[in-house]
Every structure is written in C-alpha cells, then in structure tokens.
A and B are shown apart, each in its own frame.
Chain A
Amino acid sequence: MYITYSIKTAFKSLIDEKWINLLCVLTVASSLIIIILMGLFLFNIERLADKLHERYGMVVFLDERLTENEIRSLLSTLQSREEVSSVRYISKESAMKELKEHLKEMSYIFDGLDVNPLTPAVELNIKKKYINAKNIKDLSNDLQKINGIDEIYSAEKIAESINYFYRSLTNLGLIIMITLTSGVIFVIYSTVKILFYRRKEEIEIIKLLGATKSFIRMPFLIEGSIIGFTGGLISIIVSFLFYFAITYRLGSVFPFVETLIFPTEAIFVFLIIGALLGIIGAFIAVGRLRF
C-alpha cells in the first residue's frame, strides 16, 4: 500500500513549506476559536432559553361554582391539549396561601377579609415548540370557549419575546459560524493549491509513471487534514483557557458566569471538524486531475 509513502510525502511537505503551513494553521485556529466561542455562547443561550421556556406558563381562572367532578373533567380536557405539557390546579385556598407567602410581611393586608376574593385557577405549562404569540393566542381563544373558564392570562408578548430572543441569537450565531467555516475551507484550499502548483512538475512525472488519482491526491488530503486538525487542537486549547479564565476570574463578581458550561464533547468534535474541513479544502484544491 502507498499510504506510508503518502504520509511521508505529506509530512515532508509540511516541513519543507513550514512557514506557509504555519500561517495557514494559525489562520484556521483563529477562525475556529471564534466558531467555538460562538458555539459555546449558543449552547449556553439554548440552556438559558430552555430554562425560560420551563418558567413560562398560562394561567386559566375558573368559575368558582364548578363542582369537584367538573374541575376534574376540565383538568383532563386541558391536559389532553397538544400544546400543554403539564397542568397544576390551584384552589382558592392554595392561591391565598401562595400569595401570602409571596407578600411575606405585607400579608397582613388580607387579615381583615372575611371572604377569600381569589378564584381557583389552573397553571398550564406549554411545550417549547408552541411558545410563540400565534400559538398562545390560538390556544387562549380555544380555551375561552370552554364552559367553566372565566378568564385567561396568557402573556403572549412574553412568549414572543422569549422566542424572538432565542431565534435571533441562534440565526446570527449560525450565520457567523457558516461564514467562518467557509473561510477555513478557503484558507486551506488556497494553501494546498499553492503547494499543489509548486509540485506540479513532480505530479506530471508521477502521472506518466502510472500514478492513480488517489495516489496523487492522498498526500494533499493528509496534509490538509493535519493542518485542520492542528488548527482545531490549538483553537480548543485557546478556547478552553479563555473559558477557564472567564469563569475563574469573573465568577466571583458575576455569579451567572459560573453557570456557563464548556461541553467536553466539543474537544473531540472540533478536532474532527478541523480535520474534515482540511480534507474538504484540500480535495477542492487538487480538483479534477487530467491524464
């Protein structure tokens, strides 16, 4: 097999053309650092958005005259809705208790009341994919038609804001990541293209000796993958140091920083992504070989 020859040729080229290869590795690493930090940011934003989604709920206020059986039936109807992930019934008494706990020292203002003015309610948790203004409004209109429901608090605007915030950041992040990924491929493409032209005479000779396309391409693909892999390795190390510095230094001042997570899977993923981008760039650079 000629794989040993291909590996030796790739390493020889990496050493012979060390400056152009080093420049390429550093450029790839710089782009990958931005991609990793952007990915880290989006990953943590998604976690945050999930928490916001978990906290979002609709409150349905019920008619006080409903019997226990009617309430049970109503809860079952609400739970059966596709958009609803869970329901929680809050009786008048529980509502008053929760309100007093919330008001703490101010709770004495209810002491003089003979009657509980609060109404029983049901808190609905909505599935993440349904949290947007239109779905919430549709759901609200549907529920309004059910007998025994007096009023609905749906906060459509909050739902839309959560969604908009998450969508905008994700889209922006993805655009930046795609642009930089294309940039990485282009940088590796340009470098390998230069190296290919420098070895053009040699390639023409080995073609005449009977070399196949894969024999000619293999050293360039290996070289591209090594450039991408090394760029990925450097970017992972720098990004992790950056993450460590941020959480260690700023964690005590801004506690939320400590909740940021650097997933360890990213280390392997970005090494593989680096190598893959290298192979893609090199493959395009070598292009179609003619005999």
Chain B
Amino acid sequence: MIYFENVSKFYDYHTVLKSVSFTIEKGEMLFITGPSGAGKSTLLKLIYKGADFDEGEIVVGNYKLSQIRTSEIPNYRKNIGIVFQDFKLLKNLSVYNNVALALRIRGLSEREIKARVSEVLKRVNLRHLAESNPMALSGGEQQRIVIARAVVAEPQIILADEPTGNLDPNTSIDIINLLKDINLNGSTIIIATHSPELFKDTGKRVLKIDASKIVREMKG
C-alpha cells in the first residue's frame, strides 16, 4: 500500500529524514514514534504531498510520488484522510459544515452528505454539537471533529499526526479506540505520536524514528 525506499528530506542544510525505508500493508495500523523534531510529522507530510522529498521514492497505491503531476494531487489527496496536530478546522463553519466539507470537495449530493455526516458525528459522539462553532468546543471535541472529517469520506489511508496531543489520558484512549474501530473497517492508518502509552498493548507495529532515521521496529 505504502512503500518508502531510501527517502531523504532536507530543510536548508538540516537533515530531517535520511534514507528511510519501510512498507505498510493495506489495512495495517502503524505507529510512528520518536522524540519531538525526529521527523514524524515530516514523514506524514511526504505521504500527503504537503512537502516534497529530496531523495529516494515513495509509492502510495498506484501513485509514484516523485512522478505525480500537480494536477493529480487533488485526486490523490482524496484517498487520504488527515488528522492534523493543529486541527486545521475552519473557524467560520459549524461542526457539521467542517465535516461536510470533505464530502463537498468530493462532489457528493447534499442528501448523501447529510446522511454520512450525521452518521459519522454520531460515531464520534458529537451529533448534539453539529451546529456549534468548533472554536467554542474543548480540545477533545475539536480533535473528534477532525477525526470525523478525516474518516467521513471513507478514504483508503488515514494519517494522524499527534491525534491526542493535548488531550487528557481518558480522552486519548477514546480517540485511539475510535481509530482502531475505523481500522477494523479496512482503512490503513498511520499514527505519529511521541507518547508510548498510545501504542502500548495494542499489538500493532511501531516504527521508532530518532536523529532522522528509523532506529527500531517493534510491536505495541
């Protein structure tokens, strides 16, 4: 599904990733861990074409990312749901419209959008807050909106960058359980986190990045 081969990324003279190679199977749930600044977020960015790599090759499904044309990027991104560390919610839209946006971009009818958004908001336990402004909600609630937006279009891949970043332990467990459920439905999920509690006892594969390289592969 996702294939990294000797991928390197440099920012000016600073090496963020150096010759990183790994494979992720379809339907797998993978954790990427490491200290802050290790390159976890950059690795996710490279997958969703939020940044370009300097060496190597990344293959995602049928796309070779070194050869992807600019005009293909929107369609490519439609296969990916992203849970951003800083949420990236639209302040002027309600919870419902923030989630619906992912479907509007995909050209679905308003009727279908309504059905799907209601279902996903119920799943993340936010149905009662559908008309609220996201900025008026708590960090955990905002995080769940972002997850709802990432999964509503049922993408093949979900990338989650520190999805429990500023949340309390109980809410964090809820979020991870939610992502596990989504994974059980067949989506490939990659979670970047610096917190070992999240993958402990999950039985999922964990890649540890340090000093721009994958230094260890283990089971959670």
Interface residues of A (CB under 8 A from B): 1-2, 4-5, 12, 16, 202, 205-213, 215, 290-291
Contacts and interface: CB of A to CB of B under 8 A. Distances in A.
Nearest to A1: B107
A208 B74 contact: no
Interface in B84-105: 84, 88, 90, 92, 101-102, 104-105
Given A2-B105, A291-B70, A210 B88 contact: no
Interface string B10-43: 0000000000000000000000000000000000
A4 B110 contact: yes
B151 interface: no
A264 B46 CA distance: 59
Given A2-B104, A291-B49, A205 B88 contact: yes
B106 A210 contact: yes
Most chain B CB within 10 A, of A202, A210, A213, A290, is at: A210
B105 A208 contact: no
B48 A206 contact: no
B107 A205 contact: no
24 contacts: A2-B104, A2-B105, A2-B107, A205-B88, A206-B101, A207-B74, A208-B88, A209-B77, A209-B82, A209-B101, A209-B102, A209-B149, A210-B74, A210-B76, A210-B78, A210-B80, A210-B102, A212-B75, A212-B105, A215-B74, A291-B49, A291-B70, A291-B73, A291-B74
Nearest to A213: B74
Interface of B: 48-50, 70, 73-78, 80, 82, 84, 88, 90, 92, 101-102, 104-107, 109-110, 149
A5 B74 contact: no
A206 B105 contact: yes
A202 B97 CA distance: 13
A63 to B, nearest CB: 80
A209 B105 contact: yes
Among all A-B residue pairs, the 4 with the closest Cβ atoms: A210-B77, A210-B78, A291-B73, A212-B74
B46 to A, nearest CB: 13
Contact of B82 (A208, A211, A212): A208
Which one of B74, B107, B110 has the highest number of Cβ atoms from chain A below 10 Å of its Cβ? B74
A211 B153 CA distance: 13
A207 B149 CA distance: 14
Contacts of B92: 12, 16, 202
A208 B77 contact: yes
Nearest to B78: A210
Given A4-B110, A291-B73, A210 B105 contact: yes
Contacts of A212: 74-75, 105
Nearest to B84: A208
B76 to A, nearest CB: 8
B74 A211 contact: yes
Given A211-B105, A215-B74, 18 more contacts: A1-B107, A2-B104, A5-B104, A202-B92, A208-B77, A208-B84, A209-B102, A209-B105, A210-B75, A210-B76, A210-B77, A210-B78, A210-B102, A210-B105, A212-B74, A212-B105, A215-B105, A291-B49
Contacts of B110: 4
A3 to B, nearest CB: 10
A205 B90 contact: yes
Contacts of B80: 210
Contacts of B49: 291
Contacts of B77: 208-210
Contacts of A291: 49, 70, 73-74
A258 to B, nearest CB: 55
Nearest to A5: B104
A1 B88 CA distance: 24
A291 B68 CA distance: 11
Contacts of B82: 208-209
A202 B90 CA distance: 6
A194 B143 CA distance: 31
A291 B74 CA distance: 8
A32 to B, nearest CB: 32
B83 to A, nearest CB: 11
A208 B48 contact: yes
